[in-house]
Amino acid sequence: MSGERATLALRVVPPAVLGFGRGRRLIERNLLVARRTWWVPLSGIAEPVFYLLSIGIGIGKLVTSIPGPHHSLIPYAPYVAPALLASSAMNGAVYECTFNVYFKLKYAKIYDAVLATPMGAADVARGEVVYAMLRGTAYAAIFVVMMAALGDIRSAWAVFALPAAVMIGLAFSAVGMAATTYMRGWTDFDMVQLALLPMFLFSTTFYPLSTYPRWLQVVVELTPLYHGVSLTRSLTLGYVGVGDVGHAAYLVAMGAVGLAVASRRIRTLLLR
């Protein structure tokens, strides 16, 4: 049998249930580290919550209402809150899978040790991506509770906002991890900022697509965060439609491609 080839295929194609297999050993390692400095990851939730409060008690006073999905008119805070949920899922995932993974890859040499054991490159990729997802899910859960407390949730569909945030986390952590394997030095991380900041500011986070000229609308519609924002907004505002299936599919496909590239790249980087 061509064992390694078969397992390679199995390792590269993400299995239906992620994180099962040896990758979970890496999750165990990360949790052990996080346990000691729990306040650092925990403080990561502060940023989106501060944004939420700032919108609610500050900018919300300046912008009274804004056009929402299906020609609705929506108070500003419930409009922005789901977008902040989506972008914080993006930020958390990217942060974990770029800076942290790069540090482990190039400086701490964590994966060199890991790959000397029966674990493989795909186990590393899967372990890190699933860990980032877990962390993102914890943030998203806290955020959704905060939204509910501030009255920014307007539909029972919102229970699906958490899985939606997980999907966003998966998509961005997988692609972030793949991108990290191409980084040559810390200065390359400014490219990450170059990708994240415009998405955060322009993916209909703060105001609707109709604000832009048509050509810019098309550009925005191509970005992954736009799909994440649209999905979470439909769910928490309760305007769920067929389009949301498309948004979800976009995110899942992005995650699958990112994971496959990341596994392959870790292989070529470390198993030379």
Partner 1 sequence: MPGEPLIYGRGLVKQFGTVRAVDSIDFAVERGEAFGFLGPNGAGKSSTMRMIACVSPRTSGDLSVLGLDPDRDGARIRGRIGVVPQEDSLDLELTVRENLYVYGRYFDLPRSELRPRIEQLLRFAQLTERGDDRVEPLSGGMKRRLTIARSLINEPELLLLDEPTTGLDPQARHALWDRLYRLKSQGVTLVLTTHYMDEAEQLCDRLVVMDRGTVAAEGSPQGLIGRYCTREVVELRFGPGESERHADKVADIPERIEVLPDRLLLYTDQGDATVEAVQRRALAPVSVLVRRATLEDVFLRLTGRQLVD
Partner 2 sequence: MATPPALRATQYFLLAYRRTWRASIMSTFVSPLLYLLAMGVGLGSFVNKGGGAASLGHMGYLQFVAPGLAAANAATAAAGESTFPVMGGIKWTRTYFAMLATPLRVVDVLAGHLTWIGARVAMAVAPYLIVMAAFGVTPSPEAAAVLPAGILVGMAFSTPLVAFAATQDNDGSFSLVFRLGMIPLFLFSGVFFPVSVLPVGLRVIAYATPLWHGVELCRLLTLGRLGAASAAVHAGYLVALAVVGAVIASRTYTRRLRT
Q: What residue ranges bind partner 1 (CB under 8 A)?
A: 2-4, 7, 22, 25, 28-29, 32-33, 36, 108-110, 112-120, 270-272
- Give Rg (Cα) of the chain: 19
Give helix 46-54 / helix 76-95 axis angle, nearest 10°. 160
Structure tokens belonging to residue 91:
């930020």
**Total residue length of the chain:** 272
In the complex, minimum distance from the CB of residue 156 to partner 2, in angstroms, rounded to a whole number: 28
Pick 59 or 256: Cβ nearer partner 2: 59
Four-residue CA torsion sign, 54, 58, 62, 67: positive
Pick 140 or 260: Cβ nearer partner 2: 140
Name the β-bridge partners of 75.
Answer: 65
On whether the CB atoms of residues 55 and 74 are closer than 8 A, the answer is no
In the complex, minimum distance from the CB of residue 268 to partner 2, in angstroms, rounded to a whole number: 25
In the complex, minimum distance from the CB of residue 100 to partner 2, in angstroms, rounded to a whole number: 12
Pick 100 or 203: Cβ nearer partner 1: 100
On whether the CB atoms of residues 236 and 154 are closer than 8 A, the answer is yes
In the complex, minimum distance from the CB of residue 94 to partner 1, in angstroms, rounded to a whole number: 21
All residues at 6 or more sequence positions from 108 whose CB lies less than 8 Å from its CB, including other chains: none
In the complex, minimum distance from the CB of residue 122 to partner 1, in angstroms, rounded to a whole number: 11
What residue 112 binds from partner 2, partner 1, none (CB within 5 to 8 A, per partner kind)? partner 1
Buried b / exposed e across 226-263, counting CB within 10 Å, b at 16+?
bbbbbbbbbbbbebeeeebeebbebbeebbeebbbbbb
Pick 96 or 244: Cβ nearer partner 1: 96
Pick 10 or 46: Cβ nearer partner 2: 46
What residue 221 binds from partner 1, partner 2, none (CB within 5 to 8 A, per partner kind)? none
Binding site for partner 2 (CB under 8 A): 37, 39-40, 43-44, 46-47, 50-51, 53-54, 57-59, 61-66, 187-188, 190-191, 193-194, 197-198, 201-202, 206-207, 211
Pick 191 or 245: Cβ nearer partner 2: 191
Separation in Å, CA 78 to CA 56, 84, 92, 103, 115: 9, 10, 21, 37, 46
Within 10 angstroms of residue 215's Cβ, the number of other Cβ atoms is: 8
Pick 137 or 203: Cβ nearer partner 2: 203
In the complex, minimum distance from the CB of residue 44 to partner 2, in angstroms, rounded to a whole number: 7
What residue 7 binds from partner 1, partner 2, none (CB within 5 to 8 A, per partner kind)? partner 1
In the complex, minimum distance from the CB of residue 121 to partner 1, in angstroms, rounded to a whole number: 10
What residue 50 binds from partner 1, partner 2, none (CB within 5 to 8 A, per partner kind)? partner 2
Integer Cα distance of 255 and 240 in angstroms: 22
